């Protein structure tokens, strides 16, 4: 266990990486929604106001990205 670190930040970043390598549209959307939820949890746990607003903005961006279609040239085009 690490003291003083917000574990949800690393989880949210990992979810974003998963979204970027998603093979189909549904897993792309699900991963971005998961990232948004994790960024929101990171914001709830954060005590620094500056980082809290940054994490909330990341949550909003992740949710907005989930609503968009996957970009062309993603991993789904390679298979």
Is pTM beyond 0.85 here?
A: no
CA angle 54, 55, 61 (to 5 degrees): 90
Q: At how many degrees (to 10) do helices 7-20 and 25-45 cross?
A: 160
DSSP 74: S
pLDDT in tens, 4-48: 788 999 999 999 999 999 999 999 999 999 999 999 999 999 999
Residue 78: the pLDDT is: 42
Radius of gyration of the chain (CA): 14
Record the tokens describing residue 47, joined without a space.
Answer: 């005590």
């Amino acid at each position: 266990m690490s003291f003083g670190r917000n574990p949800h930040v690393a989880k949210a970043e990992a979810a974003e990486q998963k979204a970027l390598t998603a093979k189909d549209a549904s897993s792309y959307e699900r991963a971005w929604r998961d990232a948004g939820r994790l960024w929101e949890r990171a914001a709830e746990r954060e005590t620094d106001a500056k980082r809290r607003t940054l994490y909330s903005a990341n949550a909003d961006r992740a949710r907005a990205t989930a609503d968009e279609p996957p970009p062309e040239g993603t991993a789904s085009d390679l298979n």
